[in-house]
Amino acid sequence: MNPTDTPVLKSRLSEMADALGTKAPGESGTKAWFIALKDFAIDDVVDALDQWLRTKPKMPAPADVRLILAGRLSDHIERQSVARKAEFAVGAQRILADPQIARVHLDRCFQVLRKSAPSSDFEWNKERLAIAHQDDPMP
């Protein structure tokens, strides 16, 4: 949210307070709500307030709305990671399918981890196959 969204927030909170039979927050209360929720988009905040109104009989605190929004963010991140897993797997398979490319990438990984690199081609191949099949289900 940005400061220009404060009237929208104040209006939504007033409507909500009226619907729930409580007092609407004043200027300082609206400012506190803004400060607590400023890292979320106003559309998301209004939608979370609407969700609260549909499911709860009392006026929420800003922390309650943040919990709703944080849960949505967590769900969004999880959906993105599931959607991208296949994309990353294709890239990893392409890299690990070519022994020369795999050796370069594994060598970089070992350098980062400060672990000694495999000394023979057999060990390199064994390491490459272990990484390539790490997501395979157990037989």
Query: Per residue in 101-117, pLDDT tens?
Result: 777 777 777 776 766 66
Average pLDDT over all residues of the chain:
84
Cα separation, 73 vs 68, whole angstroms: 9
* pLDDT at site 109: 76
Q: How many independent structural domains does the chain possess?
A: 2
* pTM above threshold 0.85: no
Q: Would 27 be classed as within a structural domain?
A: yes
Shared-domain flag, residues 103 and 123: yes
Cα separation, 138 vs 115, whole angstroms: 27
Q: Number of C-alpha atoms within 13 angstroms, CB side, residue 69?
A: 21
Shared-domain flag, residues 62 and 98: no
* pLDDT at site 84: 83
* pLDDT at site 97: 79
Shared-domain flag, residues 41 and 58: yes
- Of 76, 94, 118, the last residue of a domain is 76
**How big is the CA angle at 79 (ends 60 and 39), to the nearest 5 degrees?**
40
Q: What is the DSSP string of 49-110?
A: HHHHHHH-SSPPPHHHHHHHHHHHHHHHHHHHHHHHHHHHHHHHHHHHHSHHHHHHHHHHHH
Q: If you ran DSSP here, which 8-state letter would residue 120 be given?
A: S
Q: Would 138 be classed as within a structural domain?
A: no
Shared-domain flag, residues 87 and 58: no
Q: Would 137 be classed as within a structural domain?
A: no
* pLDDT at site 87: 80
Shared-domain flag, residues 44 and 98: no
The candidate with the shortest Cα–Cα distance to 20, out of 49, 61, 59, is 59
Shared-domain flag, residues 72 and 125: no
Shared-domain flag, residues 109 and 69: no
Decide: 64 and 31 in contact? Cβ < 8 Å.
no
Q: Would 112 be classed as within a structural domain?
A: yes
* pLDDT at site 91: 78
- Print burial letters for 20-29: b (CB count within 10 Å at least 16), e (below 16): eeeeebeeee
- What's the domain range around 72? 3-76
Shared-domain flag, residues 71 and 97: no
- Read off the pLDDT of each residue in 83-87 and give the average, rounded to a whole number: 81
